Amino acid sequence: MNNETKEHRMAFGQPKIEYKSNAQIRKMREAGLVLAEALDTVVDAARIGTTTAELDALFEGVLERHGATSNFKGYYGFPATICASVNDQVVHGFPSDYVLADGDVLKIDGGAIIDGWHSDSARTILVGTPDPADQRLSDVTEQAMWRGIAALANARFVGAIGEAIDDYVSSVEGEPLGILEDYVGHGIGTEMHQAPDVLNYRSGDRGARVKPGMCLAIEPMLVRGGIETRTLDDDWTVVTTDGSRASQWEHSVAVHLGGIWVLSAHDGGAAGLAPFGITPAPLQD
């Protein structure tokens, strides 16, 4: 989501946050599980010689099999069910006849809707034998996502997510990695992009207060070079200005009275949160 996009405004410019009931969060979990399966299918198929259009068709097939619909296809005219962004393409890349090659860094961002409730998740796939620097980039980005999710478990304000991500990325030894600031996480529910914005960096703004019923898509995007980006002539594909490679990882997460629940992870976030001493809290039927 572009940080400049401000939707769901009430009077006086205040963001309107949609808080979900437990039943609605369970419905979002259904969408999240379908999405996780669709992403698994794409990850398994993303090999040297496969086209990104073929991956899009596989993803769409999983959604159709479960009676889900895509929240990407047709969104402001977007032509596909996934964003497939390769190498210096950060986000919003179109699936095409591009043939995956050894060493490619592929970002797959997708979503699913069940009964009007949305999920959103992204993964970075390293094709063939990765460059060690690209492996590090993806690993740090994924870990940054989990740091942000873990911070949400005890956060009073949404800004704590970005602080945790920024602190971690800044502490990693070796070549510095850049955190994109123009594209951020977001609320999610009856629409894919809702208030509040979820920054991936320290900003001095503590953000919205965390309350039960809040559902957020947490999605850090890191680059090996500078954080400046530009949009290609298709008006969608975002690339790094200096040609450096990028990584994106994302999960949809719910806050409820019992804790947090990673809606788009098969295990609810158990493995990713365990290193931080946090146990996800699934809602019981």
The annotation places the binding site for a divalent metal cation at 109, 120, 186, 219, 250
Q: Which residue has the tokens 């290609």?
A: 232
Here the tokens at position 154 are: 């005890």
The CA distance from 43 to 125, in Å, is: 7
Helices 52-65 and 22-45 pack at an angle, to 10 degrees, of 140
What residues are designated binding site? 92, 109, 120, 186, 193, 219, 250
Question: 263 Cβ partners below 8 Å, 6+ apart?
Answer: 25, 28, 29, 31, 32, 119, 215, 251, 252, 253, 254
What residues are designated binding site for substrate? 92, 193
Return the number of other C-beta atoms located less than 10 Å from residue 64's C-beta: 12
| Cα–Cα nearest to 149, from 270, 43, 35 | 270
